[in-house]
Chain A
Amino acid sequence: MPEPAVAIANVTKRFDATVAVKDLSLVVPRGAVYGLLGPNGAGKTTTIRMMLDIIAPDSGSISILGRPHLDPGVLDRIGYLPEERGLYKKMQVRRVLRFLAELKGVKPKDADRRINSWLERLSLTTSEKDWGNSKIDELSRGMQQKVQFIGTLVHEPELVILDEPFSGLDPINAQALKDTVVELKRDGKTVIFSTHLMDNAERLCDSVCIIAHGEKVLDGKVDAVKESQGSRNVALALDGGTPDAVRTVLQDRKLVARADDQNRFFEIELATGADPQELLQRLVAGGARVRRFELVTPSLHQIFLERVGASGVEEGISGHG
């Protein structure tokens, strides 16, 4: 068993009266894609900033790649993409990237070679135009994000930390980001990303940690997390409308603990002791044209809603981002 990529033990951070992170412990296995999930203000960014020694924890310890995170050189092995992105506007793309690479201890000659290959790979250098010599503010937003991404990865970090990487990305760039995350994992790197988009997390992550109000709600491998919640969920898809009789069935609290109405699709959490067969019979009796009725493990989205509760949910939380 190799050293974990990140091990956080009993970390607490206060800002004046508010506790941003409270006695948090988590372990990120090497080579994993790890999701840090939670509503806005849950303490995700604070946790990430503490890993990077941007802010110091009040108590607790953090180790990165098997060493205390304050050891010299440890931070050079991390690639970091903050939630709020930005680069020196008046600087040429190549110079910005060389600066970021050299800050991580890459030799200028190696940096230039890697930067050129990245620029080509993300089509910022083409036969028609070399954007590498343009200033940052001459680039489109999408191109700036690509440059920022190169800046995160140019020093070939073993651990990549992305804070809300999907925010502000169009579907094409979001897909490119997912591809890159998969690629990084294939190369044996560890990727940690924070998000409040559960669908992305469910598809990409090997392990997750859900935090709310600065405290860990649950963590572990995605499969295990879902198993532990039991197969008490039903995925239901109907053809045509939803008759009132069917609605009445779904509102029967003896049968259904919670029904997430997504218009043509329902994710249903069964009440304790309820029999799924009985639910199916009553639905059909109610006139529902059932296209799909499947016992499933709950989605992360469901688990999240259930465990964090409505109180922890703020605007912008959705499984469909």
Chain B
Amino acid sequence: MGKMLVVFKREYLERVRSKWFLIATLLGPVFLGVITVLPIALASRTKSSDRLSDVIIIDATGTDLGARVSKALASTTPNAPAPRLKVVIAEQVAREEDRATHQVMNHEAVGYMVLDANTTAGKDMRYAGRNATALIDVDNIERMVRQSLLGQRLEREGIDPNRVASLTNVRLDAKTEKITDKGKEGASGLTSFFFGYGIALVLYMMIAIYGQSIMRGVLEEKTTRVAEVVVSSVKPDTLLAGKILGAGLVAVTQVSAWLLMSFLMYQVRGPLLRVFGAPAMAGAAIKIPSVAPIVGVALVLFFILGFLLYAALFGAVGAMVSNQEDVQQAATPVMLLLIASLVFMQPILLNPSSTLAKTMSWMPFSAPLMMPLRMALIAIPWYEIVGALLSVAIGCWIAIWASARIYRVGLLMYGKKPSFRELARWIRMA
């Protein structure tokens, strides 16, 4: 125990003393803010393009639908060119589409849409254009066509055109609020979304950064040959444990510093936002979602277990190889496990109750990221949380057991990177 403390102390102090730690701790929140807020801010722009009406409408419906859509679109962006309507028969659509494509390519229009029998049947329409990937634009166009179609149908049923206009003019934005077992929360669904995303991202970053830093530390001890001196005084298992815990506490120190800085910034958010030109009111709109104590405890447990699991694996990888060239390659399987969680973050954010989400939050390798994410989004029954924690704990125990054995053998082994079969033998013989 005493020796582990010595290793732990060295690991912690040397890491905290480094200037990289200082820089990362100070700039972390800025960086985190940029990478989380910026893409979201860009994607969720509520203002649509100011050239929405600058399109070509190819109308093969044989009705006045094209004209209706054209009129509706023209009114959205009065300053942009009005839509150009081409009324054609079905056989001419292909030719008109070719022509329209060229016009869009020559910057004569932003895009074109095709309305045909499918559209009047209420099934689909087609849109192609430079803004086809801008969700908000496509959303607006869809709404216009839907409204126009609805209006057309209503008029056909003999309803006064003036009344149709007022009847179909429904915008309806959803203002969302999250409800948990404890009732409504102050924060909106969107805030929980960011919160869950943020927590999972921070966990991922801490595991990736500090896990790999443990791996490099182990490798450094091998390449500088200091490992042999150290293991003549302390058991390899104790050394590995001290290193992992030391690096883990550094991660905790860093996150705590970030939280503290965020809290301080939150306290002075009004003046701070004014500096960036935002109205003072905006400050009041920022709400921190409340976290139930039990959720907080679970988050910490997931973080600790997840960190231990990956840190042990990364430590073993560091002991497996003998030089810098091999280490990235050897770390790939471990990184893939970690990145898999990140890749699935998006679909799980969108549907946190799906089977995929449930499965991922039960697997030891992904649970430490996925369960906190889901917990921030929706209410999870307690037995699922406990089950996931158990699963991670078991995975963690196996990872530590195998890693300690690989570490024990690998630490004094130099030369070629071992194959999986050799690794299995190391585990057996340790």
Interface residues, chain A, with chain B CB atoms under 8 Å away: 49, 52, 54-55, 75-76, 78, 80, 82, 84-91, 95, 99-100, 102-105, 148, 151
- Given A54-B412, A88-B220, A91-B14 in contact, is the A75-B232 Cβ separation under 8 Å? yes
- Given A75-B233, A84-B228, A87-B226 in contact, is the A103-B220 Cβ separation under 8 Å? no
Neighbour of B233 across the interface among A87, A88, A100, A148, CB < 8 A: A100
Tell me if B234 is interfacial: C-beta within 8 Å of chain A: yes
Tell me if B126 is interfacial: C-beta within 8 Å of chain A: no
Interface string of B1-34 (1 = CB under 8 A from A): 0110011001001100010000000000000000
A103 to B234, Cβ gap below 8 A? Answer: yes
Closest to B225 in A: A86
Tell me if B231 is interfacial: C-beta within 8 Å of chain A: yes
B203 to chain A: closest CB distance in Å? 28
User: Does more than half of chain B's interface fall in helix, strand or loop, or is it mixed?
Assistant: helix
| Complex alpha-carbon distance, A90 and B232, angstroms | 21
B-side contacts of A78, CB under 8 Å: 232
| Given A80-B232, A102-B6, 4 more pairs with CB closer than 8 A | A52-B232, A84-B228, A87-B229, A91-B14
Tell me if B224 is interfacial: C-beta within 8 Å of chain A: yes
A85 to B6, Cβ gap below 8 A? Answer: no
- Given A54-B412, A88-B224 in contact, is the A80-B229 Cβ separation under 8 Å? yes
Neighbour of A89 across the interface among B224, B228, B412, CB < 8 A: B224
Using a CB-CB cutoff of 8 Å, which residues 217-237 of chain B contact chain A?
A: 220-221, 223-226, 228-234
**Shortest 6 CB-CB contacts between residues of A and residues of B:** A86-B225, A86-B224, A103-B233, A84-B225, A82-B228, A80-B232
A-side contacts of B7, CB under 8 Å: 103
A-side contacts of B221, CB under 8 Å: 88
A82 to B2, Cβ gap below 8 A? Answer: no
The listed residue with most B CB atoms (<10 A of its CB), out of A52, A54, A55, A76, is A54
Closest to B230 in A: A103
Interface residues, chain B, with chain A CB atoms under 8 Å away: 2-3, 6-7, 10, 13-14, 18, 220-221, 223-226, 228-234, 412
Closest to B235 in A: A53
Closest to B412 in A: A54
Query: What are 24 A-B contacts defined by CB distance under 8 Å?
Result: A49-B412, A52-B232, A54-B228, A54-B412, A55-B412, A80-B229, A80-B232, A82-B228, A84-B225, A85-B225, A86-B223, A86-B229, A87-B224, A88-B221, A88-B226, A89-B220, A89-B224, A90-B18, A91-B14, A100-B229, A103-B230, A103-B234, A104-B233, A105-B3
A49 to chain B: closest CB distance in Å? 8
A82 to B225, Cβ gap below 8 A? Answer: yes
| Complex alpha-carbon distance, A99 and B230, angstroms | 9
B-side contacts of A84, CB under 8 Å: 225, 228
A-side contacts of B223, CB under 8 Å: 86
A-side contacts of B226, CB under 8 Å: 86-88
A54 to B231, Cβ gap below 8 A? Answer: yes
Closest to B425 in A: A16
B-side contacts of A95, CB under 8 Å: 10, 13-14
B-side contacts of A104, CB under 8 Å: 233
Closest to A89 in B: B224
Closest to B233 in A: A103
Neighbour of A151 across the interface among B14, B220, B229, CB < 8 A: B229
| Complex alpha-carbon distance, A41 and B286, angstroms | 69
B225 to A103, Cβ gap below 8 A? Answer: no
Neighbour of A105 across the interface among B2, B225, B231, CB < 8 A: B2
A103 to B6, Cβ gap below 8 A? Answer: yes
